[in-house]
């Protein structure tokens, strides 16, 4: 009798956990699903825009002339002569190869979302080929910048970032919960809905597709959280404690460190809107600094040269080719004697820093080029389809009028004391680490309590 009692108790606890995960998975799908859908769809739009951007801005990005390049000093002078108002020069990206233009970039508060403007100069003829707002490490242009902000914050400013953080905070849980339900609840659900073949078919497709893209769900959720406001801040602090920060060069002629930012593609340019001191502009030094950096091994075709913000800072030269193999080395050059005083080589990065770099670039679809774009596009559209199937399943199995589905709190009340305490501790821990997740979980509980109230009488 004691053994039978224990088996019944274990079975009841197991069913309570299954019911709890089922209901929470349902709440995530119902309430967070639309945010995940929008994030996935806008993410796909962002991934497929590089080729469109190249076509739209072809006249600014390319030139038909060939020949010997003029000096960077001459190219900068040509750019400045085409400015309507005086702007602060903050970076130069030399033409990577014949047929490309040089980007002379200025801080410009009138440049819309990016806060920076690039004048595209023909390096051979010094002709102005374009004048456009630019943004991010890869220098994305207005069309792609708009799609980027749409994906990240729905063009709603900082408040809009909560939508993407909400989606990323719950996506990993939805994925793990879905696998748990597929393993634990598959047979039960199959028996329960055996007579409802249409629903069963959609449930099977929903689950199978979820299994296929499971790893992608976890990857996108984890990398997406690193961009978020609250969870991203917590992740940064954990990385500092564990020593997982990305190595950086020292730009100070004393000992100050400058932290590198893996998310520069989706963040404002360094210095935008926070320049405490105007840049020390000496256009004559750009060619010498470039020569020093090249001699020190900065050999990528795509690179960026940034003058110092003040007289006690060094020049910064970094490679910006995020494709495979990654070329993201950087050096600091002392303008007094043109020597490299600090460097950061990707080859020497700790493995964790490399994985973080690769993960972020893969999330953005730039690590493996077109192949990366194709995989992410298929993944994003599959996620959208899975969410639509989930809503279709909910509509087909929604409770009839006057009925109430099994609530979350009811399932929790049937758990063992150990299970209750463990679930509360996990919930509190996740709420601290992922604040947006915690707030939304509280909303779920309030809704659930309201739904459970009729059953408690």
Q: Output the pLDDT for position 265.
A: 54
pLDDT per residue as tens digits for the range 358-410? 999 999 999 999 999 999 999 999 999 999 999 988 888 776 655 556 788 88
Nearest one of 153, 233, 151, 220 to 359, comparing CA atoms: 220
State the Cα–Cα distance between residues 38 and 114, nearest whole angstrom: 22
What mean pLDDT comes out for the span 166-178?
97
The full set of domain ranges for the chain reads 59-140, 230-369
Q: How far apart are CA 250 and CA 244, in angstroms?
A: 18
pLDDT in tens, 189-217: 555 544 456 666 767 788 889 999 999 99
Return the exposure string of 9-20: e unless at least 16 CB atoms fall within 10 Å of the residue's CB, then b.
eeeeeebbbbbb
Q: Lowest-confidence range among 44-58, 76-90, 130-144? A: 130-144
For residue 211 the two structure tokens come to 């299994």
Band of pLDDT at residue 15, cut at 50, 70 and 90: confident
The DSSP code sequence of 111-133 is STTS-EEEEEE-TTT--EEEEEE
How high is the mean pLDDT of the chain?
Answer: 88
Provide the token pair at 163: 């939508």
**95-127: pLDDT as tens digits:** 999 999 999 999 999 988 888 999 999 999 999
State the Cα–Cα distance between residues 271 and 269, nearest whole angstrom.
6
* DSSP per position, 237-265: HHHHHHT-PPP----BSSS------TTGG
Only one residue has tokens 């994305």, namely 140
DSSP secondary structure string, 131-175? EEE-BTTTTB-HHHHHHHHHHHHTTSGGGGHHHHHHHHHHHHHHH
Evaluate whether 137 touches 264 at the Cβ level (below 8 Å): yes
**Residue 104, SS3 per DSSP:** strand
Report how far residue 445's alpha carbon sits from residue 391's, in angstroms, rounded to the nearest whole number. 21
Instruction: Give every CB contact of residue 346 below 8 A, 6+ residues apart in sequence.
Output: 326, 327, 328, 329, 354, 357
Task: Report the alpha-carbon distance of residue 30 to residue 447 in Å, rounded.
Answer: 12
pTM as predicted: 0.88
More confident of the two residues 449 and 285: 285
Using N-to-C axis directions, what is the helix angle for 161-184 and 142-153, rounded to 10°? 60
């Amino acid at each position: 009798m004691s053994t039978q009692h224990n088996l019944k108790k274990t079975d009841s606890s197991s069913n309570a956990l299954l019911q709890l995960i089922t209901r929470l998975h349902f709440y995530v799908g119902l309430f967070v699903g639309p945010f995940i859908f929008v994030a996935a769809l806008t993410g796909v739009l962002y991934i497929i825009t590089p080729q469109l951007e190249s076509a739209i801005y072809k006249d600014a990005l390319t030139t038909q002339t060939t020949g010997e390049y003029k000096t960077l000093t001459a190219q900068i002078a040509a750019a400045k002569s085409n400015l309507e108002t005086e702007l602060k020069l903050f970076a130069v990206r030399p033409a990577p190869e014949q047929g490309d233009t040089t980007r002379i970039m200025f801080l410009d508060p009138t440049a819309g979302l990016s806060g920076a403007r690039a004048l595209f100069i023909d390096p051979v003829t010094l002709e102005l080929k374009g004048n456009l707002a630019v943004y991010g490490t890869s220098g994305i242009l207005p069309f792609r910048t708009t799609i980027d902000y749409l994906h990240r914050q729905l063009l709603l400013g900082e408040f809009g970032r909560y939508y993407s953080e909400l989606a990323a905070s719950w996506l990993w849980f939805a994925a793990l919960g879905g696998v748990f339900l597929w393993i634990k609840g598959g047979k039960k659900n199959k028996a329960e809905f055996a007579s409802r073949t249409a629903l069963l078919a959609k449930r099977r497709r929903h689950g199978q597709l979820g299994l296929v893209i499971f790893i992608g769900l976890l990857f996108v959720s984890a990398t997406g959280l690193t961009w978020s406001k609250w969870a991203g801040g917590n992740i940064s602090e954990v990385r500092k404690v564990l020593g997982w920060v990305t190595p950086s060069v020292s730009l100070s002629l004393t000992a100050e460190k400058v932290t590198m930012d893996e998310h520069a593609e989706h963040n404002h340019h360094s210095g935008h809107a926070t320049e405490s001191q105007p840049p020390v502009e000496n256009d004559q030094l750009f060619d010498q600094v470039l020569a020093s950096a090249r001699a020190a091994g900065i050999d990528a075709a795509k690179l960026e040269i940034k003058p110092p913000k003040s007289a006690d800072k060094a020049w910064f030269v970094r490679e910006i080719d995020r494709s495979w193999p990654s070329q993201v080395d950087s050096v600091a050059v002392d303008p007094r004697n043109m020597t490299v005083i600090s460097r950061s080589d990707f080859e020497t990065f700790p493995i964790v820093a490399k994985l973080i770099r690769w993960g972020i670039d893969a999330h953005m679809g730039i690590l493996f080029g077109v192949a990366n774009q194709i995989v992410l596009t298929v993944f994003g559209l599959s996620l959208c389809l899975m969410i639509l199937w989930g809503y279709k399943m909910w509509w087909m199995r929604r409770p009839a009028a006057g009925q109430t589905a099994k609530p979350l709190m009811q399932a929790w009340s049937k758990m063992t004391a150990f299970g209750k305490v463990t679930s509360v501790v996990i919930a509190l821990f996740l709420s601290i680490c992922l604040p947006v997740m915690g707030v939304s979980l509280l909303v779920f509980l309030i809704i659930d309590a309201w739904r459970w109230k009729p059953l408690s009488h």
